[in-house]
Amino acid sequence: MRISVFGLGYVGCVTAACLAARGHQVIGVDVNPIKVDLINRGQASIVEERIGDLTAEMVASGALRATTDVAEAVAASEISLVCVGTPSAPNGSLSTTYLERVAEEIGAALAGQERRHTVVFRSTMLPRTCTDLLIPILERASGRTAGAGFGVAVNPEFLREGTSVKDFFDPPKTVIGEYDPASGDLVASLYEGLPGDVFRVPITAAEMSKYAENSFHALKIAFANEIGAVCRAMGLDSYPVMDMLVADRKLNISPAYLRPGFAFGGSCLPKDLRGLVYAARRADVSVPLLSHLLPSNEDHLRRAFELVAATGSKRVGLFGLSFKPGTDDLRESPLVELAELLLGKGYDLRIYDETVTLSHLMGANREYIESRLPHLGDLLTTSADDVLAHAEVCVVGCTTPTVLSALEAAGDRTIIDLVRLPDAAERRNLPGYVGLGW
């Protein structure tokens, strides 16, 4: 395939050389003539393992060249990959200046062509940057319509500095945000045969994926560093501790706990977080990440309450009360805290949880609920249908078969989903349904 790559910085240089190595004819494009000259002389514009030799080999073979002429590059290619920078503005916002400029230039170049051309953005950008900003620029400059007159896709890169060539040929996955299937097909063909799953998703999901991943990487580093600081203050070597943590592929390094839902609770997580933060403070160790986990959790719980408040209705049915389905443990359950908050604000509340029977609660579990919801016996029912009959607003905190069956008769009641119902994807666009994080 004939490809043009806009921006010959870190991502663009690697993308151009690696695509050329996969048998494509590649033209690199940059406003900086120095970078263009380096490529045309067989020299990479960055310092990176393997990229120097690969660039020299591809230029020598005739598979890779560079230019400053946008019109020439677009005319000589079927697909343009945009790899320009999106730096932070002084206030922390995303700067889209380079993206807008390239979109304008590519659009103008397309105005003089009849054949279909596909524009693929690899630059990191916030959701809806492509659909709300860049596509309108392309359409205005080209006089064509996206999806018909030209193709559009978002294809975020997951290249690590220092190993980017290796990462290109051995990716963890390939993400394609497609405006239309034809554009997605074309991008997928660029990476055909490479390992890893291929995700073809809406453009906005592809844009967000890069932010989710980089935020998670930053979170992991900050977490490990804070644990290390606490361990050192206690006279421990943090490495054996973290070796045991990462060895757990069932809960720790896995999809476990990485699905948005309601706040965490129970007898372990809140207690142990408080204990560790207290120990760090006693040792004069600052742990801002760890110390903000409980406040973050409380904010998430409050978001659920605000969704109920926004309905303007006062008759609420709460489905689920224990901190985890399949148990009657109510200690520090976020659903108990939500119920307490609703009662305190004057809501007429009824609760159903098939695993919770007041007469069976004992010990610390009973003491906890008596201190938080002393009138639970007046609120708790043994029938999901009774709660549904009472409610104008259904707050769903579990997905047991009895609850799902009752919700089938919800009619025009508002459903506030805290756990993502099995048919949440279909419900999202229906009136009266509100998902907590989806």
Give the residue numbers marked as catalytic: 268
Strands (E), 265-410: 315-319, 348-352, 380-381, 393-396
Q: Map residue 123 onto helix, strand or coil.
A: coil
Question: Is residue 261 part of an annotated ligand binding site?
Answer: yes
Structure token digits, residue 251: 């809960």
Question: Is residue 96 part of an annotated ligand binding site?
Answer: no
Q: Rounded to 10 degrees, what is the CA torsion of 135, 136, 138, 143?
A: 130
Question: Is residue 35 part of an annotated ligand binding site?
Answer: yes
What angle do the packed helices 334-344 and 293-311 form, to 10 degrees? 50
| Residues in CB range of 254: below 8 A, 6 or more apart | 248
Question: Is residue 57 part of an annotated ligand binding site?
Answer: no
Question: Is residue 257 part of an annotated ligand binding site?
Answer: yes
Question: Is residue 331 part of an annotated ligand binding site?
Answer: yes
Question: Is residue 433 part of an annotated ligand binding site?
Answer: no
Q: Map residue 171 onto helix, strand or coil.
A: coil
Question: Is residue 158 part of an annotated ligand binding site?
Answer: yes
Question: Is residue 324 part of an annotated ligand binding site?
Answer: yes
> From CA 438, how far away is CA 435, in angstroms rounded?
5
Nearest alpha carbon to residue 202 among 260, 146, 127: 127
327: amino acid identity, one letter? T
Question: Is residue 265 part of an annotated ligand binding site?
Answer: yes
> From CA 157, how far away is CA 171, in angstroms rounded?
9
Asked whether 300 and 361 are in contact (CB, 8 A), the reply is no
> From CA 366, how far away is CA 371, in angstroms rounded?
9
Question: Among all chains, which residue has been given the structure tokens 């922390």?
Answer: 92
Q: For residue 138, which phi and psi values (nearest 5 degrees)?
A: -60, -45
> From CA 59, how far away is CA 43, in angstroms rounded?
9
Question: Number of helices and strands (H, E) in the chain?
Answer: 20, 14
Question: Is residue 259 part of an annotated ligand binding site?
Answer: yes
Question: Is residue 160 part of an annotated ligand binding site?
Answer: yes
Name the β-bridge partners of 417: 396, 435
> From CA 125, how far away is CA 226, in angstroms rounded?
29
Neighbours of 309 (CB within 10 A): 15
Question: Is residue 258 part of an annotated ligand binding site?
Answer: yes
DSSP string, 46-95: S--TTHHHHHHHHHHHTSEEEES-HHHHHHT-SEEEE----PBPTTSPBP
The pairing of strands 173-178 and 151-154 is antiparallel
Q: Residue ranges for the binding site?
A: 30, 35, 86, 124, 158-161, 210, 257-261, 265, 271, 324, 331
Output the known binding site for NAD(+): 30, 35, 86, 124, 161, 271, 331
Q: Which residues are known binding-site members for substrate?
A: 158-161, 210, 257-261, 265, 324
